[in-house]
Amino acid sequence: MKRLYSILAASLLGLGSVTPAIALGSAEISQIVSAVAVPKDHNAPFARYHIRIQVAGNPVSQLKMKTPSALQIGQVAAFAQGQTLPVQSTTLPSGETELTFAQAVPPGAELEVQLLNVRHATNLNRIWQFPIAVSASPGAADQSIGIARIHTFW
């Protein structure tokens, strides 16, 4: 019964993560479509986190996300329209991860970012939050598109 309540609470948290685009009712702002861990077991040795974004309004050539300090990310991969995107990953002094794509992702396309070989430094926190912002070009103003939440189970 306790596990059922945990799953129900996690589902409600996932539904409660409203992106600014949904809150404003705008199709001109990119939106986080989903965020999930594969597998969901927090002790998995080579977990992958998938974050899908529907690009709208302006093309996306750069993405910034704040990763929790308790996570260690091995690699980052990106895909759009079924194609692998060459991506350069940089860790900024602020602790954010900045992804710069070799080619901008056009509006109407779905961008998938995969965090590969994810390791947890702690077993305490099992709901991970990633604030995400995108920009049309390097140096352009960032546009916050929301917080991706990933829930792992024990």
- Region 68-80 average pLDDT: 88
Global confidence as pTM: 0.77
- Give the pLDDT score at 14: 47
Contact (CB, 8 A) for 88 and 99: yes
pLDDT level of residue 151 (50, 70, 90 thresholds): confident
100 forms bridges with which residues in the sheet? 62, 88
pLDDT level of residue 52 (50, 70, 90 thresholds): very high
Report whether pLDDT(84) > 90: yes
- Give the pLDDT score at 10: 44
* Cβ count within 10 A of residue 4: 8
Strand order in 127-135's β-sheet?
87-91, 96-105, 60-66, 127-135, 143-151
Q: Between the CA of residue 13 and those of 6, 23, 69, 80, 109, what are the distances in Å?
A: 11, 16, 21, 27, 26
Distance, CA of 59 to CA of 12 (rounded, Å): 31
Phi, psi for residue 5 in degrees, rounded to 5? -65, -40
